[in-house]
Amino acid sequence: MRKLVIGILLMSFGVTYAQNLTQDAFRPSYSSTLSVNNLGGDHAVFGVKSENTGRGLKYEEITGSPYYTTEFQSAKVAENFDKVPVRYNSYKDEVEFQKEGKPMVLPKESAYSRIEIASPKNTLVLVKTNDDLDGYFFELVNGKNKLYKKVKTKFNDAVPAANSYASDKAAFFKNLDPVYYIQTAEYGFIKKPKKLKDILEFFPSKKEAIETYAKSNDIKFNKEENLVKLVAFLNE
pLDDT in tens, the chain (236 residues): 444 444 444 444 444 444 443 334 333 333 345 666 778 889 899 999 999 999 999 999 999 999 999 999 999 999 888 899 999 999 999 999 998 888 999 999 999 999 999 999 999 999 999 999 999 999 999 999 999 999 999 999 999 888 888 898 999 999 999 999 999 988 899 999 999 999 999 999 999 999 999 999 999 999 999 999 999 999 99
| Rounded CA separation 157/170 (Å) | 7
pLDDT of residue 23: 39
pLDDT of residue 39: 82
Asked whether 88 and 67 are in contact (CB, 8 A), the reply is yes
3-state secondary structure 14-50: HHHHHHHHHHHHHCCCCCCCECHHHCCCEECCCEEEE
Against a cut of 0.85, is the pTM above it? no
Distances (CA, A) of 134 to 61, 82, 131, 145: 28, 27, 6, 18
pLDDT of residue 140: 98
pLDDT of residue 25: 36
